[in-house]
């Protein structure tokens, strides 16, 4: 097939998506998320978030269903199809009126700190893997090399030009820059565990605390330098932000395409430490949070947490003055978390996808779980975030029905 065919596919999907993004409901959702993240009462918002790492997504948007052959256009075809599918679910995820082209930044996720990570995969696309951590001895600490912010301007311009020509007259192209150390690249925890090894990292807290502190200092300073360089270069914009839900709040300017330059104080920041889930609050604070705070304090507002249980660490998190949202995960004590969070922060509650949609479909059971948990969080600022869905057992209508059930339950708490 020709490039012309690929462009026709992208244009057709972009036209459909543009109509979705122009629906009045999108503005209603913006207003609701902004109020919610500013600790104002709204009805309970619902978000389903998924990406191509989710196995069910690979089943639905795979080599047999995608039409484009060029990998560049194939990526945008997949993203557009996923966004169009998202719209059919009826949740509160905002579909923005632009298409995104990421800049190409220096740095490789295979060697995020100058040492190559060796992944041993199962052979299954998106399946499990093991990592052979490269920093086996602190004598090699001088081999740790942070990435400095640098955009490949020529490659970025070429990609933007290709996409702009394909969607000309349909959607604007947002040139989105996130520094290399963003999201999980920038939480320290993720790549500390991969570089040093999860077990070794935990043992270091007792056996080699000074060396671990030195490594953490290098990572903190490298991330800060990367972020500062991106800011000073004017590469950050209102789409250079992430909070695992919708990056809106009344205190912050609303996202829009090509809105740079902006500073970190204008944006949402994100932190997590899934690898420290089994570490005590005291050790989490000493060997992670104290190094994350100087990074997170630069942002306007911060969401903290992904899949880790933070029930016993909410007191620790209160040290961060610009913290606004906390993840309450399937393993968390919902009632205790609600008691400790109160009305001071948003509770980003993540029900277990296993209970919700992954293993069988029992609407009555789903409703009972949702109702019981929302009762425990009554009076708090809560949104429901269904994430990490790895299978729908082939029943892709299940997500739509789950939203309907969740809406019915949420209405009882309005």
Token pair in block for residue 271? 């932190």
pLDDT of residue 123: 65
Give the C-alpha separation, 373 to 263, whole Å. Answer: 38
Stretch 260-287: mean pLDDT: 97
Give the C-alpha separation, 133 to 137, whole Å. Answer: 10
| 3-state secondary structure (DSSP) of residue 120 | strand
pLDDT of residue 53: 72
Give the C-alpha separation, 90 to 395, whole Å. Answer: 17
Give the C-alpha separation, 287 to 412, whole Å. Answer: 43
Neighbour count for residue 388 (Cβ, 10 Å): 18
Stretch 112-123: mean pLDDT: 86
C-alpha distances (whole Å) from 297 to each of 291, 323, 388 are: 11, 9, 28
Q: How many folded domains does the chain comprise?
A: 1
Task: Report the CATH number at residue 356.
Answer: 3.20.20.210
Residue pLDDT, tens place only, 160-194: 999 999 999 999 999 999 999 999 999 999 999 99
* pLDDT value at 1 more than 70: no
pTM across the whole model:
0.95
Residue pLDDT, tens place only, 355-400: 999 999 999 999 999 999 999 999 999 999 999 998 899 899 999 9
Instruction: Give the CA-trace dihedral at 324, 325, 326, 330, to 10 degrees.
Output: 170
pLDDT band at 57 (very low <50, low <70, confident <90, very high): confident
* Cβ contact 347:382 at 8 Å: yes
Query: Domain range for residue 199?
Result: 3-411
Token pair in block for residue 288? 């992670």
């Amino acid at each position: 097939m020709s490039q012309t065919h690929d462009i026709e596919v992208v244009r057709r999907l972009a036209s459909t998506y543009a109509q979705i993004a122009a629906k009045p409901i999108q503005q209603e959702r913006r207003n609701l998320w902004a109020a919610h993240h500013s600790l104002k009462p709204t009805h309970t918002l619902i978000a389903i978030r998924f990406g191509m790492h989710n196995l069910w997504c690979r089943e639905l948007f795979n080599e047999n269903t995608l039409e484009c052959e060029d990998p560049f256009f194939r990526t945008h075809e997949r993203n557009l199809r996923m966004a169009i599918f998202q719209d059919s679910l009826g949740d509160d995820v905002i579909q923005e009126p632009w298409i995104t082209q990421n800049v190409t930044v220096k740095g490789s996720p295979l060697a995020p700190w100058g040492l190559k990570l060796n992944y041993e995969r199962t052979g299954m696309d998106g399946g499990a893997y093991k990592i052979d951590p490269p920093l086996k001895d602190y004598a090699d600490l001088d081999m740790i090399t942070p990435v400095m912010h640098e955009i490949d301007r020529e490659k970025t311009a070429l990609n933007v030009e290709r996409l702009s020509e394909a969607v000309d007259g349909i959607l604007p192209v947002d040139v989105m820059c996130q520094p290399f150390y963003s999201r999980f690249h920038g939480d320290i925890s993720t790549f500390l565990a991969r570089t040093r090894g999860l077990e070794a990292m935990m043992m270091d807290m007792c056996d080699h605390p000074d060396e671990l502190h030195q490594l953490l200092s290098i990572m903190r300073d490298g991330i800060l330098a990367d972020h500062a360089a991106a800011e000073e270069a004017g590469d950050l914009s209102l789409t250079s932000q992430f909070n695992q839900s919708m990056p809106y709040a009344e205190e912050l300017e609303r996202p829009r395409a090509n809105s740079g330059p902006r500073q970190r104080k204008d944006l949402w920041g994100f932190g997590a430490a899934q690898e420290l889930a089994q570490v005590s609050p005291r050790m989490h604070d000493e060997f992670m949070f104290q190094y994350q705070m100087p990074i997170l304090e630069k942002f306007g507002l911060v969401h903290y947490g992904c899949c880790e249980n933070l029930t016993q660490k909410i007191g620790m998190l209160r040290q961060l003055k610009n913290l606004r949202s906390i993840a309450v995960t399937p393993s968390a004590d919902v009632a205790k978390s609600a008691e400790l969070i109160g009305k001071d922060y948003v509770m980003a509650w993540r029900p277990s996808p296993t209970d919700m949609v992954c293993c069988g479909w029992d609407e009555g059971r789903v409703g009972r779980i949702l109702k019981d948990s929302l009762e425990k969080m009554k009076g708090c600022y809560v949104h429901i975030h269904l994430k990490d869905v790895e299978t729908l057992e082939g029943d892709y209508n299940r997500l739509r029905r789950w939203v309907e059930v969740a809406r019915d339950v949420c209405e009882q708490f309005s």
